[in-house]
Structure formats: C-alpha cells, structure tokens
Structure 1
Amino acid sequence: MSKTNSVLQRKNYGQINFKLKELLDSRGMTRNHLARKIDSRFEVVDKWYKNQVEKIDTDILARICFVLECKVDDIIEYKN
C-alpha cells in the first residue's frame, strides 16, 4: 500500500453507513420483530437500525440478509 492511501495520515477516507432503518421502514417491519426473527437482542438490531454499529458481526449480518431476503449492499454502503 502506498503511503498516500494510509489511514495514519488522518485524512478523510470515507465511512460505512448502515441502511437497516430504511429497509425495515420500507417493509413495515419493527426492530423487535427482526430481533426475534434473527434470534438476537433488540439492542443489537437497534444499533444497526441507528447506524451505530462499532464492529460488524458477520453472523448477525448473514441472519439479517437471510430473514430480509436481501444482499449485504442493501444494508451496508461505503461513502468516500
């Protein structure tokens, strides 16, 4: 990796956004309902819903995609 693309240089390298709120709202599904369907706690789904995920749990992501019958890029986006 070149030094111009290093995250150590404190430049804007973009951000990850979670779009679960839009997806659930468009389907009329509540966070409680999704939490029950994916066998997870409400607080976990709430963090995804409020775009406050600190670390991506790929198992949770896979369960969300399975239940909602969607792709990862329907839930997560990268913006630079």
Structure 2
Amino acid sequence: MEDIEFGTIKIKLDEIMKKQNISINKLSYRAEMQRTQLKKYCRNEVQRLDISVLCRLCYALDCDLNDLLVYVPYEEK
C-alpha cells in the first residue's frame, strides 16, 4: 500500500508572538505552560496537537484558532 501525503498543519505561534511582541516567558506564564512545550510549538515539532493546549494559546494570545493554525497542502516534487 502506498503512503499518501495529505499535507501538513503549520503552527504559526512564533509569528503571532513576534506580531504581539510577547516573549516565551510571558506566554508561558499567561498560558500556564512550560517553556519547553511552547518552544516545540514554535518550531512545529509537535506530533499530536492537544486541544487543551490550543485553547490555552488562543486564550493567552487573544486570537482565533484560524490565526494559530494553517493547512499546507501536499505538493508533488
């Protein structure tokens, strides 16, 4: 069976943080999350998205889920 690519989800946390001029320390405090976990979200190194984490981020950044995530379709090379 062939492996079919469906695309990926990009987390735009780093972009939003820069836009709002908020540090990882401040976001860590607001969202009540560890900095190491936030860094993984910033670098798009998360394998499974956690709904609770996404809710915390949206609340702490006063943004919508659509602002935080974007679907990137698969492109054949």
TM-score, normalization by structure 2: 0.86
Deviation track 1:32-56 (CA, whole Å, cap 9, x = no partner) reads 1101111111011111111111111
Q: Which has the higher contact order (CA 8 A, sep 6+)?
A: 2
SS at match of 2:54: helix
Matched, 1:65 2:58: yes
State the shift of 1:12 in Å. 2.4
Can you give the 5+ residue segments of structure 1 that lack an aligned partner in the other structure?
Answer: 1-7
Structure 1 or 2: more helix by fraction: 1
Matched, 1:31 2:35: no
* Matched length: 73
State the shift of 1:11 in Å. 2.6
Identity of aligned residues (%): 25
Ranges of 4+ aligned residues in structure 1 off by more than 6 Å: none
Q: Which structure has the larger Rg? A: 1
Can you give the 5+ residue segments of structure 2 that lack an aligned partner in the other structure?
Answer: none
Task: Provide the alpha-carbon RMSD of the alignment.
Answer: 1.2
